[in-house]
Amino acid sequence: MNLSPDQTIMFNAWGLPINATIFYTWIVMALLTVVSILITRNLRADVPPNRWRTTLEVIVQGIQGQIEEISGGPSRHLLYYAGTLFLFVAVSNLLLVVPGFEPPTSSLSTTTALALSVLIAVPMFGISSRGLCGYLKTYIEPSFIMLPFNIIAEFSRGISLAIRLYGNIMSGAVIAAILLTVAPFFFPVVMDALGLLTGMIQAYIFAILATVYISSATASSAKVEKDIP
């Protein structure tokens, strides 16, 4: 049993080995892109929404509501980013029920890449909202002594995000494989259902944590001081 899809080579492209992680990531990306195009191709006010469009609007409004509750106001750019994170992780985990599909989120490479994207997004959103000097000032608050601790805290966030997501998805896959050898008919059904539930929860937590980190970086000093009891 391969503990990670990184170990499975699907094919070679231009002399480069394409492992299962990259291959299934492309599948998820293509699926999200095609479904989005198909649902929104007739996105006009004079066209009544169908059930697929209604479902997509409910998902988007739900994500937007969570972001506004955390950040204290609407943020379209944050909606695009956090919503994309949620949909990618959620769809990757939901496709676990497809025979032969290995979720790219069960690879530490994918979860690390997602965590790194959050680490890059936090200062980008922070600088865009507060300016370069205003954002860098947060690293020496409440005093200059806190500079190394704030830097360590910034990187530890990314590490915790990667390990949390990888650990939950990978542990479910390993347990399912073990139970499959013990009772091949009953336990896999239960573990798949549990894996789907865990995957959706992890997608939600990952997107929410990214939103919290970015909202903290973009919050004005006055608002931060007001929120501190």
Residue 54 tokens read as: 């209604």
- Report pLDDT digits (tens) over 96-107: 778 788 888 878
Residue 10 tokens read as: 């699907």
In this structure, are residues 176 and 188 in contact, taking their beta carbons and an 8 Å threshold? yes
- Report pLDDT digits (tens) over 190-210: 666 666 777 788 888 888 888
Q: Please indicate, yes or no, whether the overall pTM of this predicted structure exceeds 0.85.
A: no
What distances in angstroms separate CA 92 from CA 26, 86, 122, 152, 206, one per listed residue?
A: 11, 10, 24, 30, 13
Domain region containing 22: 5-227
Give dist(CA 107, CA 177) in Å, integer: 16
Q: What is the pLDDT of residue 184?
A: 55
| The three-state (H, E, C) secondary structure of 44-98, written as one string | CCCCCCCHHHHHHHHHHHHHHHHHHHHHCCCCHHHHHHHHHHHHHHHHHHHHHHC
Number of domains the chain contains: 1
Among candidate residues 87, 162, 63, 152, the one with its CA nearest the CA of residue 118: 162
Among candidate residues 121, 110, 123, the one with its CA nearest the CA of residue 151: 123
With 0-12 / 13-18 / 19 or more C-beta atoms within 10 angstroms meaning exposed / middle / buried, residue 29 is middle
pLDDT class for 223, splitting at 50, 70, 90? very low
- Report pLDDT digits (tens) over 68-83: 888 777 678 888 999 9
Q: What is the pLDDT of residue 229?
A: 37
Strands (E) across the chain are located at: 9-13, 16-19
Q: Report the percentage of the chain scoring pLDDT > 90.
A: 9
Asked whether the predicted pLDDT for residue 27 surpasses 90, the reply is: yes
